[in-house]
Structure 1
Amino acid sequence: MRQPTNNRHLWPVWLALALWIGAWNASAGESPTDREVPSGAKCPVCGMFVAKYPEWVALARWSDGTVHYFDGAKDLFRFLANPERHAPGRDPAGIGELYVTDYYGLKRIPARSAWYVAGSDVHGPMGHELIPLAHEQEAREFMQDHGGRKLLRFEQITTDILSALDKTGEAP
């Protein structure tokens, strides 16, 4: 005859599982714009710890929910120019949402709709940086106030511009 089992000793396991599922469900609908950068997150381009520079954060969210954090828009664009190098084994077609941090508002904004100023006197964590702004007028004012050389849209940013920023601090 089979003895009845006592499952009371399993309650900590069930509780932990329920808490984990609840936390996973809560974060599943969370936008990457709402998340804090994990303290151990490193930029896949330069290896810098990104959480140290929250005002410069850029990120790429893959279709599977994986997020790569960057220490500035410039490294995000370097990543996009060669994702196979910086995320080996990942299919670049799986890159979904892209965000940068607006210079004035310090909020994450869609990278594809941002305005970028190149060649200004404002430096990011890695030196000369692309400065993202949410609105064209703000970008033009920023250029006047900070000696910006070029106003760019997402699709205009090339590896030549990124290289020029590193070499001379100016956009070609």
Structure 2
Amino acid sequence: MTSPVWRRRLLLAGAASALAAGSALFLDYGSRPGLGFEPPAEDVCVVAPARVTEPHAYDPASGLAMYEARPVPADARCPICGMYPARFPRWAAQLIFKDGAAHFFDSPVDLFMYLETPERFGSERKPADVAAVYVADFRNGAWLPARQAVFVRDSRARGPMRGPDLPAFADAATAQAFIAEQGGRALSFEQIDASVVSGLRDANHAQHMH
């Protein structure tokens, strides 16, 4: 029979091994943000919301213009829900402030929620401070100027939070082809008003926000 002392040592060794394996997997995954991660249907969000998320400063050494769309950093967290947008390349969105700092979002819904009331998420910046807004093309993850994109509402596609979202497309024809397969209706950036944002917010975040 194993003594209590050895039993405790075995349990501690097993726990340490599991933690090391999990950490290695996380670091390996985080270093490859370009992967087209699509979580399984039974997956749930276990990332605690980042109550105040600081924007990522502009890096002049990146070779990108200050207001040009940039790759999502692997460690960037959505200021709305705390998830990691780099894991959702077909849903991601970003906004760039006039000083070049950028926020990254795991989906267009969270982007519009932030634009509507940034102060609700601990930000001292205003919508007037925003210089550029981008969303990912749902087909291939390429960045699109958000004000030129065509969004689809009420489709059967589910976003990172497992709720209805706003997949974005480069033009109306591509959006309509998606609608023919997944349902929904097309909206322009300007048509996504407070009532649209409110309905999508409640569908995705009602259980997390107070």
Fold shared, TM-score > 0.5 on shorter chain: yes
Q: Are residues 1:110 and 2:154 paired? A: no
Decide which structure has the larger Cα Rg and report it: 1
Shift, 1:56, TM fit: 1.2
C-alpha distance after superposition, 1:74-118 (max 9, x if no partner): 110111111222252223311010000011132010000000100
Task: Identify which of 149, 160, 165 aligns with 2:195.
Answer: 160
Q: Are residues 1:120 and 2:120 paired? A: no
Q: Are residues 1:74 and 2:115 paired? A: no
Q: In percent, how many aligned pairs have the same letter?
A: 39
Q: Are residues 1:86 and 2:121 paired? A: yes
**In structure 1, the residue corresponding to 2:90 is in which secondary structure?**
helix
Change (3 A) 1:146 1:94: same
- Given that residues 90 and 140 in structure 2 are in contact (C-alpha distance below 8 angstroms), is that contact kept between their aligned partners in structure 1? no
Runs of 4+ displaced beyond 3 Å: 28-32, 165-169
Give me the whole-angstrom Cα distance separating, in 2, the residues matched to 1:71 and 1:25: 25
Structure with greater strand percent = 1
Question: Which one-letter code corresponds to 1:113 in the other structure?
Answer: Q
Give me the whole-angstrom Cα distance separating, in 2, the residues matched to 1:83 and 1:101: 21
- Given that residues 128 and 166 in structure 1 are in contact (C-alpha distance below 8 angstroms), is that contact kept between their aligned partners in structure 2? no
Alignment correspondent of 1:36: 71
- Given that residues 81 and 159 in structure 1 are in contact (C-alpha distance below 8 angstroms), is that contact kept between their aligned partners in structure 2? yes
Shift, 1:60, TM fit: 0.4
- Given that residues 118 and 165 in structure 1 are in contact (C-alpha distance below 8 angstroms), is that contact kept between their aligned partners in structure 2? no
Q: Which runs of 5+ in 2 are unaligned?
A: 1-58, 205-210
Q: TM-score, normalised by structure 1?
A: 0.76
Q: Which runs of 5+ in 1 are unaligned?
A: 1-23
Change (3 A) 1:122 1:39: same
Give me the whole-angstrom Cα distance separating, in 2, the residues matched to 1:92 and 1:72: 18
Question: Which one-letter code corresponds to 1:41 in the other structure?
Answer: A
- Given that residues 118 and 124 in structure 2 are in contact (C-alpha distance below 8 angstroms), is that contact kept between their aligned partners in structure 1? no
